[in-house]
Amino acid sequence: MPDWTHHLRQRLTHLDLDGGREAEIVEELSQHLDERYEELRRHGSSEAEACRVAMDELVDPDSLVEHMRPLRQAQTVELPTPGMPAGSLWSDVGTDLRHAMRGLRNQLTFSVVAIFTLALGIGANCAIFALADATLLRALPLPEAEQLVMMSESSTNSSSGAVSATNLNDWQARSQSLQSVAGFVPNVGSMVLANPDGAAQTVPRQWVTAGIFDVLGIQPLVGRTFKPEDDKAERNVVVLSEAFWRSRFNADPGIVGNDLRLDGEMFNVLGVVPEQAQMIGRASMWAMIPILSASTEDRSDRFCAWWGACVPMPT
């Protein structure tokens, strides 16, 4: 693209403009010359011919001086009035956008920094709003979610810590304001599922106590969930997630009552729960950890790393 600056400054010498104003006029006229030059080149003109025609078509020196003299005066911006033609308004907007784009193009470093800052700020605000919406604004996808509360134990070292199995039993037995209490281990571990063909599959698993799904109001799709009597049973039991049931067992309801070999032991499948259960842990199955046999003297949290208690208040 030709550099028009030298030719335009020569034609503006008689206007006696200050440096800033002259640079603004040169920039504006250069844009028009660039557009005309590109148009001529697209129609087959050579570089030299396109440059000459663009300069000749601009204006002769005397006319240019006369045309640019009013630009030395301060210009006032007229506000749009009701009923004015929309065309002039959009024309002004288009002119402003062209000036803005040209300014950004001429200061590329500043433009990149500004765009990156805007993107970072918008992204951070979207992430914060999404988190607030999920945790504060949007209700939990559970029946009577407003009746659920989360409880934990406080100590000298922490205001919110692990709950011992014995204390969990005491809350259930002695509370007069809670309908039921259940616990779960927030962190999700895994178990190795042995397939009939001898292959092994690692499956995400979460430990819970009996009654956890009843507390949350989650009804099984097929079969049943854990009951208090399962806590004292001699067999191992599991409940499957809906996604795992559909992908691994083709949504076969006959899986209920069958045994799965997990970590070398047999676990009986009690039932399948819907995707609502994923809110307590992104697990493919839930295994029950017995707590009724805990010693009444032992109130440490050694039974699990962290206990959370979901408790519905009575209506």
HSE-CB for 118 with a 13 A CA cutoff:
6
Please report, in angstroms and rounded to a whole number, the separation of the first and last CA atoms in the chain.
Answer: 78
Q: Which residue is it, tokens 């519905």? A: 312
Residues 170, 58 within the same domain? no
Residues 155, 207 within the same domain? yes
Query: Could you tell me if residue 35 is inside a domain?
Result: yes
Overall domain count for the chain = 3
Q: What is the pLDDT of residue 294?
A: 58
For residues 232 and 209, what is the distance between their CA atoms, to the nearest angstrom? 12
Cβ count within 10 A of residue 273: 26
Query: Could you tell me if residue 235 is inside a domain?
Result: yes
Evaluated on CA atoms 15, 19, 21, 22, the torsion sign reads positive
Residues 272, 207 within the same domain? yes
Q: What is the pLDDT of residue 265?
A: 92
pLDDT in tens, 14-71: 767 777 777 777 777 777 778 878 888 888 888 888 888 877 776 655 545 554 554 5
Residue where a domain stops, chosen among 32, 55, 75: 75
Q: Which residue is it, tokens 């301060």? A: 74
Q: Which residue is it, tokens 């992204």? A: 123
Flag whether the pTM goes above 0.75.
no
Containing domain of residue 7, as a range? 1-75
Q: What is the pLDDT of residue 83?
A: 56
Query: Could you tell me if residue 211 is inside a domain?
Result: yes
Query: Could you tell me if residue 81 is inside a domain?
Result: no
pLDDT in tens, 268-293: 999 999 998 887 888 999 998 877 66
